[in-house]
A and B are shown apart, each in its own frame.
Chain A
Amino acid sequence: SAVISQKPSRDICQRGTSLTIQCQVDSQVTMMFWYRQQPGQSLTLIATANQGSEATYESGFVIDKFPISRPNLTFSTLTVSNMSPEDSSIYLCSVSGGNTEAFFGQGTRLTVV
């Protein structure tokens, strides 16, 4: 499985600000995804990060709030914009090599105050 590194691992941010989370993979992967895990909850898919084109967002998530970049096959960023306390969650990067298995980074624990 690929080694997935996320930065930062945690952060505390002021409401109204934005945070960009980075995801670096040690090998080229076909698919990259971003998930959100709210406190005590399960994982919910935010979007598919498409290399060289705009991300594909799931219902309930929009580009203005969660802009995503994927400049190449090993790197992606997720920005959480204009944050409010409701955005406090763990944000997880996931990759899939073209089969159905998906592997996750360690997550970024975000607290908005």
Chain B
Amino acid sequence: GQQLNQSPQSMFIQEGEDVSMNCTSSSIFNTWLWYKQDPGEGPVLLIALYKAGELTSNGRLTAQFGITRKDSFLNISASIPSDVGIYFCAGQASRTSYGKLTFGQGTILTVHP
């Protein structure tokens, strides 16, 4: 089956630093999504990307859909303590597979005040 390789697995940063994480795949996805999961909660959608090359921002978050359609990155600028959590990329392989997602392994983000 399809797999998403997400890196890094974990990050330990100081408050105020910028963060970058990415996902790659051996196959094409037509949608990329980025989620954040806090302990004891379900994933919360941060950003959705629909077109190759698309660059989208949501506050301090910026994500891009790679032009090859096989990768995506998420940047967080000026990190704050509440950014702590697990970030997941997710891809949808087909335009008819609404909501059926393949997830990356997750990036655990720790922010030191």
Interface residues of A (CB under 8 A from B): 1, 4, 30-31, 33, 41-45, 48, 59, 92, 94-96, 98-107, 109
A1 to B43, CA, bound (A): 13
Question: Can you show 27 pairs from A to B with CB atoms below 8 A apart?
Answer: A1-B45, A31-B98, A33-B99, A33-B100, A42-B103, A43-B43, A43-B88, A43-B90, A44-B103, A48-B99, A95-B99, A96-B99, A98-B98, A99-B98, A100-B30, A100-B33, A100-B48, A100-B92, A100-B95, A100-B98, A102-B33, A102-B45, A102-B90, A104-B35, A104-B43, A105-B42, A106-B40
Q: Which 9 A-B pairs have the closest CB atoms?
A: A96-B99, A104-B42, A100-B31, A102-B99, A31-B99, A42-B103, A43-B103, A107-B42, A96-B98
Residues on B close to A: CB < 8 A? Answer: 1, 30-31, 33, 35, 40-45, 48, 50, 88, 90, 92, 95, 98-106
Partner of A106, one of B33, B42, B48, B92: B42
Number of A-B contacts (CB under 8 A): 65
A18 and B101 CA atoms in complex are apart in Å by 27
Query: Besides A100-B99, A103-B45, 11 other CB < 8 A contacts?
Result: A31-B98, A31-B99, A45-B100, A92-B43, A98-B98, A101-B99, A102-B90, A102-B99, A104-B44, A106-B42, A109-B40
For residue A104, which residues in chain B have a CB less than 8 angstroms away from its CB?
35, 42-44
Q: How far is the CA of A31 from the CA of B100 in the complex (A)?
A: 9
Point out which of A43, A45, A59, A96 has the most chain B C-beta atoms below 10 A from its C-beta.
A43
Which of A42, A98, A104 has the most C-beta atoms of chain B within 10 angstroms of its own C-beta? A42
A4 to B42, CA, bound (A): 10
Contact partners of B33 in chain A: CB under 8 A: 100-102
